[in-house]
Amino acid sequence: MTDELRQRLARIDPASGQPPLSEKQRNELLERIMSTPVTEPTPDRTGRTWTVAVAAVAVLVLAVAGGMGLFGGADNPPVATDSPLELNAGEEDPMAMCIVFSTEELERVAEIAFEGTVTSTEGARVALAVDTWFRGGDVTTVVLNAPQGMEALIGGIPFDVGSQYLITAQDGTVNYCGFSGPSTPDLRAAFEEAFA
Amino acid sequence: MSDERGRLFEDIAQEVFEPLRRYLSRRSSPADADDLLADVMLTVWRRFDDAPSGRELAWCYGIAKRVLANHRRSQSRHLRLVQRLAAEPRQEFTPDPADFGPDPELATALASLSERDRELLQLWAWEQLEPREIAFVLEISVNAATLRLGRAKKRLADSLAGQNSEGTGHKSGEGIQEPL
């Protein structure tokens, strides 16, 4: 049955009839790539801003401390950059963005999900040591930055040094509306189920 | 750049080039697929020293997945801006069953699944990966990949069964309607 399903799915593979790239095209592409310096500096995205429609201004800064440097190429995703990534948000009604909490929604809205312990709060910046990655990275430190003040972080949830929080983010912006918050048994169970 | 490094890259490229191209063309528009492939191969070129021996293709799929996710985020941001300007409802990219031709029932059932289920099934059936390789690509445990794949198959079977009962008015013994 399983093999039958696999074969049946393979028959609707839209790429099954795709002709390979010509040798000339392939070689040109590979030659161009191989002429690129391996150590070319990672593009600095600091200062680039993306405006998204949430009101709780949250800036997620990921400090890379490990293997996510793997993806430090020209199109490195937000979680994989060596330099701070600052994403600004906050133009519209926050309530307009709230959706009913469920583990399915939690899974859907989270490109990044982790549990971390607050190690410091300095001004509008909160540093967390990551205890568990559920999705999207393997850095050891995440810094949240709320330019408009601490109260803007994650829907006004206060951060206390030494306390644990469960955080999700999308497009580099922290999700609130219950999708991030202090680590409680219920929220942790939801994370474990959503990212099993 | 050492010749040795170049030769090693060419060996890897030989193995992964077309599978990656198919992977990307399945998940993006034809116009974007080759550009994305260039991005993926560039990252492979820069980082292949880190590729785990014997798992190079799965490692490359992991890179392709991230490049694709980045591309989609970029598209999504652009789309949100355009739609805000146009005041039109948001539209997500979903496969068009008509694109799959030979088996529209299955294509419709596949399109009805969540993106996560589709991705699992596509990695399994189109990229022909086993759960341990799927786990590597998706950065999850083998156990989680196995469980999720099983659930995705079940949901696909359920969707097909639902179509058959709606479409024909009687139970069909064909296809994959039994629990998997």
Which residues of A, range 30-59, sit inside 8 Å of B by Cβ? 30, 32-34, 36-38, 40, 50, 52-53
Helices (DSSP H) in chain A: which residue ranges?
Answer: 2-11, 23-34, 103-109, 185-194
DSSP structure class, residue B52: P
Contacts of residue B175 in chain A, CB cutoff 8 Å?
Answer: 8
Predicted local confidence at residue B95, as pLDDT: 57
Contacts of residue A12 in chain B, CB cutoff 8 Å?
Answer: 100-103, 106-107, 110
| Sign of CA pseudo-dihedral A177, A180, A183, A186 | positive
β-strand partners of A170: A173
**Interchain pair A107, B77: CB under 8 A:** no
Predicted local confidence at residue A92, as pLDDT: 33
Distance from CA of A95 to the nearest CA of B (A): 18
Low-confidence ranges of chain A (pLDDT < 70): 1, 39-100, 123-124, 146-157
Interface size between A and B, measured as CB pairs under 8 A = 131
Low-confidence ranges of chain B (pLDDT < 70): 1-2, 74, 76-101, 166-180
Side-chain-side CA neighbours of residue A21 (13 Å): 24
Predicted local confidence at residue B166, as pLDDT: 66
- Three-state SS for B149-179 is HHHHHHHHHHHHHHHHHHHHCCCCCCCCCCC
Check: CB of residue A167 under 8 Å from CB of residue A106. no
Q: What is the pLDDT of residues A152-191, one digit of tens each?
A: 455 556 778 888 989 888 777 777 777 888 888 888 888 9
ipTM tops 0.85: no
* Partner residue facing B100 (CB), from A12, A75, A135: A12
Predicted local confidence at residue A3, as pLDDT: 82
Q: From the CB of residue B98, how many other CB atoms can be counted at a distance below 10 Å? A: 9
- Token pair 């990551």 in the structure block, residue: A130
* Partner residue facing B176 (CB), from A4, A30, A72: A4
